[in-house]
Amino acid sequence: MIEEGRALFLQIAESIEDQIVDGSLAEESQAPSTNELAAFYRINPATAAKGVSMLVEKGVLYKRRGIGMFVAPGSRDRVLETRRGVFSDRYLEPLLAEARRLGLGPDDLVALIRERADRTESAPAERSAP
């Protein structure tokens, strides 16, 4: 999971958010401790704590004194809303700018996306080596 060139604490926070989005960490469930994260990723516990603290500041996690960190109610929706905004800024804005340069309108873009999605869905699944 560790990517070179990206801050580890950001990757830890994103990994926890991924688990919240995919449902493997449900709202009100206990999140992994900083020591568990540090051991799993073989990183300094302070680095893991920084990622967890970032999620606490965003209201994604909260602390139950003496018990640990838990997923806050509404966290999944909050994370999805934030990620949709990032997705729009990172991918849609450049896409729309290039579409304008190419003279493509919204209907053209929708048709291209559907065509690509259909090809992707009908492509045979890749097999991984044993």
One domain for residues 65 and 101: no
- More confident: 127 or 65: 65
Note the pLDDT tens digit of each residue in 30-79. Answer: 999 999 999 999 999 999 999 999 999 999 999 999 999 999 999 999 99
Note the pLDDT tens digit of each residue in 65-115. Answer: 999 999 999 999 999 999 999 999 999 999 999 999 999 999 999 999 999
Q: The domain containing residue 62 runs over which residues?
A: 8-73
One domain for residues 51 and 68: yes
The domain total for the chain is: 2
Residue 59 maps to a domain: yes
One domain for residues 62 and 90: no
pLDDT for 124 equals 65
Residue 116 maps to a domain: yes
One domain for residues 66 and 81: no
One domain for residues 69 and 15: yes
Q: How confident is the model at residue 122 (pLDDT cuts 50, 70, 90)?
A: confident
Distance between CA atoms of residues 28 and 45, nearest Å: 23
As given in the structure block, the two tokens for residue 122 are: 């009908």
One domain for residues 15 and 56: yes
One domain for residues 12 and 55: yes
Residue 55 maps to a domain: yes
As given in the structure block, the two tokens for residue 69 are: 């960190």
One domain for residues 82 and 49: no
3-state secondary structure labels for all residues of 67-126: CEEEECCCHHHHHHHHHHHHHHHHHHHHHHHHHHHHCCCHHHHHHHHHHHHHHHHHCCCC
| Whole-number Cα distances in Å, 71 to 16, 44, 62, 90, 117 | 10, 23, 6, 27, 33
